[in-house]
Amino acid sequence: KTATPKAQTLAELDEFAASPSESVRKVAMAEKDKLTAFDKPLEIAFTAVDGRKVDLRDYRGKVVLIDFWATWCGPCKAEIPNIKRVYAEYQAKGFEIIGISLENASIKPDDTPEQIAARHDKAKKVLNDFTTMTDMPWPQYYDGKFWKNDLSTRFGIASIPAMFLIDQDGRIVSTEARGPKLEAEIKRLLKL
């Protein structure tokens, strides 16, 4: 029996994932995550910028929007009124949102640990102030790494806003749920 191209690629990535080089292992695992993202329930866990513990497994049974965005992104901010409207309409019916913020802490290679901490504090404050002012109560992931954000790079996010719509079983069912498509997909998944 001949292996499918996907199976062959996964086997090759497994070989690279066993590399003694950490950077090679990391790239191989990221590529494997991208290739298999739709095959299994999505696994994401982190402590939100406001201190809340977030584990996507705790959201099973709900429809979840994973919103990759940033406060500096014009198109992301333009989508917020739609997201908030849909959240207000469907949150009580089983819809939740998790934000993955690609904020930039602007850390420089020669920054001292104190400067790095101050830059992170400043970027977190921008994020917290924005989500408070804009009334976005859902949890936000922050690592301050801008385009090298751990979660966005894991899933190959190359532009924002990017949105993953997750079904009640934790599987990605759409990566295009923006604008009017967002509400239509949520209604379909919630059987409304």
pLDDT means per 10 residues, the chain with 192 residues, are 72 82 81 68 91 96 97 96 97 97 94 95 96 96 93 88 94 90 95 92
User: What pLDDT, on a 0 to 100 scale, did the predictor assign at position 134?
Assistant: 96
User: What pLDDT, on a 0 to 100 scale, did the predictor assign at position 42?
Assistant: 86
Cα separation, 104 vs 121, in Å, equals 11
Strands 172-174 and 53-55: unpaired
User: What pLDDT, on a 0 to 100 scale, did the predictor assign at position 1?
Assistant: 60
Q: Which two tokens stand for residue 2?
A: 């001949």
Cα separation, 130 vs 183, in Å, equals 24
Strands (E), 102-185: 140-142, 162-166, 172-174
